[in-house]
């Protein structure tokens, strides 16, 4: 029995280093082949070198670093959304022009009545008109006639002259003032059109100037005037030349 057990033990005996506890792993070292050294540049042809291209990258891998996106930021660490930019306020519209008052402009001081009788000034102006008409200088004659009609009443020789030449004079005035559908208006007062204090207090000038409100046309002014159409045109044209009225 002892001999049999000894024989069995010898059969089951494992050599040292090959048992379960005495097992040794095989070596993990891998022999690396020595690098291939190319011959000298003078001894090889470039066409003989095999060029091995690298395999393409996967589709989901970006080839450009600029195109790579960073990983998402956790919701708790994200910055709050920026506040919307404030809209620029629209500029305030320009104020509407203030309409001129429609009240009549009253001249300062008493109204100056036209001369009722013959005077040296009336005589000189009348003689000047006759001489200018005789040489066919109607433009200059109108200036003297306007002065005469504004400062004097129509009577005597002056009235006779006006009655005879009224149609011709009205045609001349229409060429100066323009169509009777125009609406004259007061011009802004400046240093260039400031007249002497007594000018706008002359009775005929003040009466015609009160009719200039920017709404009446020339035809309506001639109809509403207290004076004859020729006297009214003379006053209007004189106010136009003085820059007091725009037509």
pLDDT in tens, 18-31: 555 555 555 555 56
- Please check whether residue 150 is in contact with residue 119, taking contact to mean a CB–CB distance below 8 angstroms: no
pLDDT in tens, 163-187: 888 888 888 888 888 888 889 998 8
Has residue 235 been placed in a domain? yes
What is the residue range of 124's domain?
Answer: 120-246
pLDDT in tens, 125-174: 889 988 998 998 888 888 888 888 888 887 888 888 888 888 888 888 88
Q: CA-to-CA distance for 39 and 9, rounded, in angstroms?
A: 64
DSSP-H helix ranges across the chain: 2-12, 120-134, 138-151, 156-177, 203-211, 218-224, 229-241
| pTM of the predicted structure, to 2 decimals | 0.51
Q: How many domains does the chain have?
A: 1
Task: Reply yes or no on whether the pLDDT at 17 is more than 50.
Answer: yes
- Please check whether residue 187 is in contact with residue 244, taking contact to mean a CB–CB distance below 8 angstroms: yes
Has residue 135 been placed in a domain? yes
Q: What local confidence, expressed as pLDDT, does residue 221 receive? A: 93
Count how many Cα atoms sit within 13 Å of the Cα of residue 92 in the half-sphere of its side chain: 3
Has residue 67 been placed in a domain? no
Has residue 103 been placed in a domain? no
């Amino acid at each position: 029995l002892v001999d049999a057990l000894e024989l069995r033990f010898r059969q089951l005996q494992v050599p040292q280093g090959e048992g379960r506890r005495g097992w040794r792993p095989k070596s993990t070292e891998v022999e690396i082949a020595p690098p291939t050294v190319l011959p000298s540049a003078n001894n090889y042809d470039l066409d003989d070198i095999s060029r091995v291209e690298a395999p393409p990258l996967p589709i989901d891998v970006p080839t450009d670093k600029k195109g790579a996106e960073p990983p998402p930021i956790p919701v708790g660490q994200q910055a709050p959304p920026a506040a919307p930019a404030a809209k620029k306020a629209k500029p305030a519209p320009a104020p509407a022009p203030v309409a001129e008052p429609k009240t009549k402009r009253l001249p300062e001081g008493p109204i100056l009545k036209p001369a009722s009788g013959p005077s040296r000034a009336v005589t000189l102006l009348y003689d000047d008109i006759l001489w200018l008409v005789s040489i066919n200088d109607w433009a200059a004659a109108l200036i003297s006639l306007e002065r005469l009609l504004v400062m004097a009443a129509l009577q005597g020789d002056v009235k006779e002259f006006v009655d005879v030449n009224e149609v011709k004079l009205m045609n001349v005035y229409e060429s100066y003032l323009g169509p009777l559908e125009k609406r004259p208006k007061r011009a802004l007062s400046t240093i260039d059109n400031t007249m002497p204090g007594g000018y706008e207090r002359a009775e005929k000038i003040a009466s015609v100037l009160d009719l200039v409100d920017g709404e009446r046309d020339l035809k309506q002014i001639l109809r509403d005037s207290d004076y004859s159409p020729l006297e009214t045109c003379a006053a209007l044209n004189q106010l136009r030349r003085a820059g007091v009225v725009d037509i």
